[in-house]
Amino acid sequence: MLVFTLCLYLWSWLSSIHGLEFRYHNSVEMEQYLKDINRTFPEITHLHSIGQSVEGRELWVLILGQHPREHRTGIPEFKYVGNMHGNEVVGRVLLLQLIDYLTSRYMKDPLVTRMLNSSRVHILPSMNPDGFESSARDCIYAVGRYNKNGVDLNRNFPDAFESNEEEREKEVRAVMDWLKTETFVLSANLHGGAVVASYPYDNSNRGSELQGGKSISPDDDVFFHLARTYSYSHTEMHNGDSCTDLTDFVDGITNGYHWYPLSGGMQDYNYVWAQCLELTLEISCCKFPPEKQLPGLWEANRPALLAYMQQVHLGVKGVVMDSYGKPVQNAVVEVAGRKNLCPFRTDRNGEYYRLLLPGNYTITGLE
Ligand SMILES: *[C@@H]1O[C@H](CO)[C@@H](O)[C@H](O)[C@H]1NC(C)=O
Ligand SMILES: *[C@@H]1O[C@H](CO)[C@@H](O)[C@H](O)[C@H]1NC(C)=O
Ligand SMILES: *[C@@H]1O[C@H](CO)[C@@H](O)[C@H](O)[C@H]1NC(C)=O
Ligand SMILES: [Zn+2]
């Protein structure tokens, strides 16, 4: 009996110091892991589902922060989304590792503590769990990319430059509804098959946004900075040649359209309609690599994932108030010289967040 107890003790001690195993967790195991985290760290985590996949799997989002259950004025909302292409699985693994990293270091590591005290982090490790379950463990091909209805979720969002009347898939509707519940400020969605940070726009209707083969947004300077923050904090991405047979990317970044135009993507949707600046991060040459490569991929991406999260504090934030000091909802907050396709507006608390590089700006809040 004593031996048995000792073994149990040793086992739980070992698993607590070793952290989450580097392997592929299926949807059942992932759900169990997220529930364990939610139970173990009730002060700084909150687990909820934003909807279900076509096959009925929950789309779990873990929120981390000092106040995980609700938005607080002045604390920006950040998100990471993984595995929207079911066979691009490294993002899913790294986001679970990131959850492990952040929860185990809160109140121990000053950077992590400051990060979770000053921002609220939402993590959706798998947007396409059905695709994941049907994936072939393969580097290149597309088995498992699509959702259960055979739809590419990164082509299924409304598009700013052409009409995309396709019926919205359940996973896409869940994300669109999720974007209405919080004012997300900054986001990235994680893919595989290349190593590059890609930024909006992904599409164009050959209007004034098209400049030199790129589709340039009003916040191009900010996106350029964000993409370079990721690629230069990554151990290799900034070299731009990590997957030998593919395009060379200067600085490890690319304008989405310049790489290849696409309609109905999630990144443009976030930026144009949800005023959330989003990057598409391609983080591994192989879409579904052998498990033994996962620790190396985590080491390569970890500093970049952390540095990118800190960019949520770039620029300015504030509350628009009327002459009585009452917060004004839905006020247009405009930065002179930046004509966003949909103007940025204050949220229900009258708050705004504008990611901007250091400089001199004229900002107006119009009711
Ligand atoms: C998360 O933990 C809380 C208790 O701290 C519990 O009430 C809640 O049901 C858990 N959520 C999930 C989705 O398991
Ligand atoms: C973070 O917040 C906790 C809880 O309010 C507080 O005890 C701690 O001092 C804060 N730490 C930092 C670095 O902000
Ligand atoms: C900022 O720009 C405004 C308007 O162009 C100008 O009046 C002001 O002098 C500038 N301030 C600084 C510090 O450059
Ligand atoms: Zn992808």
The residues pairing with 301 across neighbouring beta strands, listed in sequence order, are: none
- 66 CA distance to ligand 2 middle (Å): 8
Q: Please, are residues 61 and 123 in contact by the beta-carbon 8 Å criterion?
A: yes
Give the model's pLDDT for residue 5.
53
Domain boundaries, the chain: 2-314, 318-367
Nearest CA to ligand 2 atom 12: 114
- The series of mean pLDDT values per 10 residues for the chain, 367 residues long, is 53 60 97 98 98 98 98 97 98 98 98 98 98 95 95 97 94 98 98 97 96 97 98 96 77 97 98 98 97 98 98 97 95 95 95 97 89
Q: Which atom of ligand 1 is nearest to the CA of 48?
A: 13
Residue 6's pLDDT is what? 53
Q: What is the pLDDT of residue 262?
A: 97
- Predicted confidence at residue 253, as pLDDT, reads 97
Q: Is the dihedral of CA 283, 288, 290, 294 positive or negative?
A: positive
State the first-to-last Cα distance of the chain, in angstroms, to the nearest integer. 71
- Ligand number nearest CA of 336 is 3
Q: Which residues are near ligand 4, the ion (C-beta closer than 5 Å)?
A: 85, 88, 191
**Residues contacting ligand 2 via CB (< 6 Å):** 66, 110, 113-114, 117
Give the DSSP letter string of 168-215.
PPHHHHHHHHHHHHS-EEEEEEEE-SEEEEEES-S---SSTTEETTEE
Ligand nearest to the CA of 358: 3
φ, ψ for residue 225, nearest 5 deg: -65, -45
Q: In the prediction, which pLDDT does 283 show?
A: 97
- Cβ atoms of 317 and 344 within 8 Å: the answer is no
The pLDDT of residue 184 is: 98
Q: What is the largest CA-CA distance in the chain?
A: 76
Q: What are phi and psi of 249, to 5 degrees?
A: -110, 115
Could you identify the atom of ligand 2 that is nearest to the CA of residue 110? 13
How much is the pLDDT for 62?
98
CATH 3.40.50.300 fits 2-314, yes or no: no
At 274-317, the pLDDT tens digits run 999 999 999 999 999 999 999 999 999 999 999 999 999 999 99
For the segment(s) 318-367, the CATH number from 3.40.190.290, 2.60.40.1120, 3.40.1390.10, 2.70.170.10 is: 2.60.40.1120
The rounded Å distance from CA 39 to ligand 1 centre is 6
